[in-house]
Chain A
Amino acid sequence: MKPDSGTRNIDPLQAEVDALVIGGGVVGASIAYGLARAGDRVRLLDEGDEAFRAARANFGLVWVQGKGLHHPHYAVWSMASAAGWGRFASELQDLTGMDLALEQRGGLSFALSETELGARVEHMEKLRAQLAPLTSHRYPFEVLSAAEARELVPQLGPEVAGAVLCPLDGHVSPLNLLQALIRGLRLRGAQHCTGVTVTAIEPLSGGGFRVTTVPSLQGNSAAALRAGEGTDVSGAQAVPAAVAGSAQVHVCRTLVLAAGLGNRVLAPWVGLEAPVRPNRGQVLVTERLQPFLNFPTSQVRQTHEGIVQIGDSAEDVGFDDTTTLPQLARIADRAVRLFPLLGNVNLIRSWGGLRVMSADGFPVYDASSEMPGAFVVNCHSGVTLAAQHAGPLVDWIRGGPKPAAIAGMGAARFKDGSPIVSSH
């Protein structure tokens, strides 16, 4: 619903919406965009930069290779998203005029020893075998010798023993993606409210929800999560009660919780669970370099502006998003072994960020049976899955069937038995 300047005495935020999405990162914005595109009246709520924001801690990868070992439906879900990403990017570009800088001509993972290469190839071959009964296409990957890898990327260091190339992989500008999604959902008539924190969710008799928010300055999910640390997963006390008069009420038919780690606090309020933990990643960013790396890798990628982003760490350190010298040194060392020219460049920035990880690494997609119309969405790969989230997932949220590939991805699987351990 667009605010109408001709009726200034009506506050557009008071009006009821079809769908309220909590969490304005890549996951929430993809869903809000998809809902608006489908014709719903949508409002997207976001805390602002007080929240932990996995959307700012990612590597921009559209990545399939290696995902879904022992859980092939997740590989199918990821491949479908990767297949639809080009069309998704073009659509956003046509709508908003923003270039997402999508490059999807393949992704590489390098091995610094024969042992490492062997392990990687074995992983990929197992995946291929597990996927064979599910898809008509052969799971696509190629194993490259050191010489073949060097043909693709001449700047490779001498230790590189080989590589795995997956033609479905690519990368995108995460900054431009989020901005394009926000612009896109607004152009499609959705509302975007930042700086607000949800303090209460009440189901309405007859369906729908009444959601109360306060300005984030009065309390936010990061504080609540830190306070609840060490307690069980459903965690913290809610944020403190609002300063009188500052609360705002939103009424909606459908409610989508896409607040990442913040879902730990919110999900129980709709009779669901979001059993996710923080997973810290640390990143280094270099000055701009002449182009030398035409394929993203999971540890080093060069952006379209020439900047090199270095990462691939994963730490279980609670709600601590600071950087540490040992991790930064480790990822820098690995990057220099892969590309010796990086040994001489200036690092401009480093940051740490908390990503979202479930016990088995796979998403949580749940619809509340206690309060129909409420949904929980959590995942680790919000960029890769953006196309699916805006498309098939939104169809499910709007009343369609749950996509077959994600039928088993509810939180109940963690109660049935031990979650399948996987690597990403």
Chain B
Amino acid sequence: MVFQFEGEPVQAIEGQMLATALMASGVTVFRSTPVSGAQRGPLCLMGVCFECLVEIDGRPNQQACMVAVRAGMQVRRQAGARS
């Protein structure tokens, strides 16, 4: 199945967690931090570190490691603090 990351199509397997689907396609930078703008990606892959935050279908600060991919999902990097 296919979802979108930053407007580009990404191949994924049904049931895969979004974080692993993104990493498997070569994405390592998921977000920039609110205070310093540093680039971050997943660390714990089990929902406790909050490093893998992305925007999914317009909802900011979603933990990519806790969400399964869905066909047509629109994912963007989380840029700093949400509004």
Residues 304-327 of A at the B interface (beta carbon under 8 Å): 305-306
- Chain B residues with Cβ below 8 Å from A237 are none
Q: Return the contact of B34 from the options A288, A345, A346 (Cβ within 8 A).
A: A288
Q: Are B83 and A290 in contact (CB under 8 A)?
A: yes
- Chain B residues with Cβ below 8 Å from A306 are 34, 81
At the interface, yes or no: A116 with Cβ under 8 Å from chain B? no
Q: Are B35 and A289 in contact (CB under 8 A)?
A: no
Instruction: Specify the main secondary structure of chain B where it touches its partner.
Output: loop
- Chain A residues with Cβ below 8 Å from B32 are none
- Chain B residues with Cβ below 8 Å from A289 are 81-83
Q: Are B82 and A305 in contact (CB under 8 A)?
A: no
Nearest Cβ distance between residue B40 and chain A, in whole angstroms?
Answer: 13
At the interface, yes or no: A287 with Cβ under 8 Å from chain B? yes
- Chain A residues with Cβ below 8 Å from B61 are 287, 346
- Chain B residues with Cβ below 8 Å from A288 are 34, 81-82
Given contacts A287-B61, A346-B61, contact A305 B35 (CB under 8 A): yes
- Chain A residues with Cβ below 8 Å from B34 are 288, 305-306
Residues 263-293 of A at the B interface (beta carbon under 8 Å): 287-290, 292
Instruction: Specify the main secondary structure of chain A where it touches its partner.
Output: loop
Question: Bound complex: CA of A289 vs CA of B81, how far in Å?
Answer: 5
State how many residues of chain A have any CB contact under 8 Å with chain B: 9
- Chain A residues with Cβ below 8 Å from B80 are 290
Q: Are B82 and A290 in contact (CB under 8 A)?
A: yes
Question: Bound complex: CA of A290 vs CA of B35, how far in Å?
Answer: 10
Q: Are B82 and A287 in contact (CB under 8 A)?
A: yes
Residues 31-68 of B at the A interface (beta carbon under 8 Å): 34-35, 61
Question: Bound complex: CA of A345 vs CA of B83, how far in Å?
Answer: 9
Question: Bound complex: CA of A289 vs CA of B78, how far in Å?
Answer: 12
- Chain B residues with Cβ below 8 Å from A292 are 83
- Chain B residues with Cβ below 8 Å from A290 are 80-83
Q: Closest residue to B80 on the A side, CB-wise?
A: A290
Nearest Cβ distance between residue A309 and chain B, in whole angstroms?
Answer: 15
Q: Closest residue to A346 on the B side, CB-wise?
A: B61
Question: Bound complex: CA of A287 vs CA of B35, how far in Å?
Answer: 13
Q: Closest residue to B35 on the A side, CB-wise?
A: A305
Nearest Cβ distance between residue B45 and chain A, in whole angstroms?
Answer: 19
Q: Are A345 and B35 in contact (CB under 8 A)?
A: no
Question: Bound complex: CA of A306 vs CA of B35, how far in Å?
Answer: 9
- Chain B residues with Cβ below 8 Å from A346 are 61
Q: Closest residue to B53 on the A side, CB-wise?
A: A287
- Chain B residues with Cβ below 8 Å from A305 are 34-35
Nearest Cβ distance between residue B81 and chain A, in whole angstroms?
Answer: 4
- Chain A residues with Cβ below 8 Å from B83 are 289-290, 292
- Chain B residues with Cβ below 8 Å from A287 are 61, 81-82
Nearest Cβ distance between residue A348 and chain B, in whole angstroms?
Answer: 8
Question: Bound complex: CA of A346 vs CA of B82, how far in Å?
Answer: 10
Question: Bound complex: CA of A290 vs CA of B83, how far in Å?
Answer: 5
Question: Bound complex: CA of A346 vs CA of B56, how far in Å?
Answer: 14
Question: Bound complex: CA of A288 vs CA of B81, how far in Å?
Answer: 5
Fill in one digit per residue for A203-247: 1 if any B CB lies within 8 Å of its CB, else 0.
000000000000000000000000000000000000000000000
Q: Closest residue to A344 on the B side, CB-wise?
A: B59
Question: Bound complex: CA of A305 vs CA of B34, how far in Å?
Answer: 8
Question: Bound complex: CA of A118 vs CA of B34, how far in Å?
Answer: 40
- Chain A residues with Cβ below 8 Å from B35 are 305
Residues of A within 8 A of B (CB): 287-290, 292, 305-306, 345-346
Give me the 6 closest cross-chain CB pairs, A-B, nearest first: A288-B81, A306-B81, A288-B34, A290-B83, A290-B81, A287-B61
Residues of B within 8 A of A (CB): 34-35, 61, 80-83
11 further interface pairs, Cβ-Cβ under 8 Å (given A288-B82, A292-B83, A305-B35): A287-B81, A287-B82, A288-B34, A289-B81, A289-B82, A289-B83, A290-B80, A290-B81, A290-B83, A305-B34, A345-B82
Q: Can you name 15 A-B pairs with beta carbons within 8 Å?
A: A287-B61, A287-B81, A287-B82, A288-B81, A288-B82, A289-B81, A289-B82, A290-B80, A290-B81, A290-B83, A292-B83, A306-B34, A306-B81, A345-B82, A346-B61
